[in-house]
């Protein structure tokens, strides 16, 4: 859910929020349509090459274009996620690939890496940027810093309390903030987990997380070359949910 800035500047291309925005993930065009049908104001979807959703992501450049156009025709917003922590090789064609995405006119790109922010600001200064939860924003000073870098919205870390969120809103009233109201909580500062890479050689920070924290494990005496057995979800925290239980 996104809380609007208290002094948003209207524009035809990116009108201000008039109240909280209900934002849902979409792994494919059908999921996007279902989210809108059930009342979502906006969806976000991973750019296939540069998001943390390499798996369970049915979007291509072609159906991204169709989906963004569909969302706008419904009066909805569509955000494209570009939130990996890219190594040098990933930056080789980054700007040319982002040119293709920017031309689709998403309402914003969701980013996490400072270098990515810099490159997008240099090459696409008019493209709105939102800061991903992967950036681990946990205080008002960080909000001010990212505002100075041209970020329009910050998705706050899931580890924050309502009191802390309120303090950040008071300190930086002219910044849009987004908070998770439902979903998993990482066994790490949000999204910076190394467990999947350690166990399965699939790096969560490169988009190939196997959700090893949500497996079930069984404790056993240490044995040479012993491997974990799936019995109890030892590393998975309680689901985040702001609805009554």
pLDDT in tens, 35-59: 999 999 999 998 888 888 766 678 8
- Residues 6 or more apart in contact with residue 146 via CB below 8 angstroms: 131, 135, 137, 154, 175
pLDDT single digits (tens) 144-171: 999 999 999 999 988 889 999 999 999 9
Name the phi and psi angles at 24, rounded to 5. Answer: -125, 150
**What does each C-alpha distance from 171 to 132, 150, 157, 211, 217 come to in angstroms?**
20, 18, 17, 35, 43
H/E segment holding residue 68 = helix 61-73
Q: How far apart are CA 153 and CA 195, in angstroms?
A: 29
Question: Is residue 11 scored above 80 in pLDDT?
Answer: no
Cα angle value 181/182/185 (rounded, 5°): 105
Domain 2-183: homologous superfamily in CATH: Glycosidases (3.20.20.80)
**Alpha carbons 183 and 242: distance in angstroms, whole number:** 10
- Report which secondary-structure segment, H or E, holds 241: strand 240-241
Domain with CATH 3.20.20.80 in the chain: 2-183
């Amino acid at each position: 859910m996104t809380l609007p800035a208290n002094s948003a500047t209207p524009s035809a291309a990116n009108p201000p929020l008039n109240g909280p925005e209900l934002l849902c993930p979409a792994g494919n065009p059908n999921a996007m349509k279902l989210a809108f049908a059930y009342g979502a104001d906006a969806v976000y979807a991973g750019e296939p090459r540069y998001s943390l959703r390499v798996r369970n992501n049915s979007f291509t450049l072609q159906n991204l274009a169709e989906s963004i156009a569909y969302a706008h025709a419904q009066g909805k917003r569509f955000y494209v996620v570009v939130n990996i922590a890219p190594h040098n090789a990933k930056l080789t064609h980054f700007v040319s690939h982002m040119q293709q995405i920017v031309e689709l006119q998403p309402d914003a790109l969701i980013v996490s890496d400072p270098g990515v922010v810099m490159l997008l600001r240099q090459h696409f200064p008019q493209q709105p940027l939102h800061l991903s939860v992967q950036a681990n924003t946990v205080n008002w000073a960080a909000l001010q810093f990212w505002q100075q870098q041209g970020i329009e919205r910050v998705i706050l870390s899931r580890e924050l309390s309502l009191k802390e969120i309120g303090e950040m809103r008071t300190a930086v009233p002219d910044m849009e903030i987004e908070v998770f109201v439902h979903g998993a909580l990482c066994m790490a500062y949000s999204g910076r987990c190394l467990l999947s890479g350690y166990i399965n050689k699939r790096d969560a920070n490169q988009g190939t997380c196997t959700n090893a924290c949500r497996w079930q494990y069984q404790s056993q005496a240490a044995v040479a070359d012993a491997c974990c057995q799936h019995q109890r979800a030892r590393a998975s925290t309680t689901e985040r949910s702001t609805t009554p239980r």
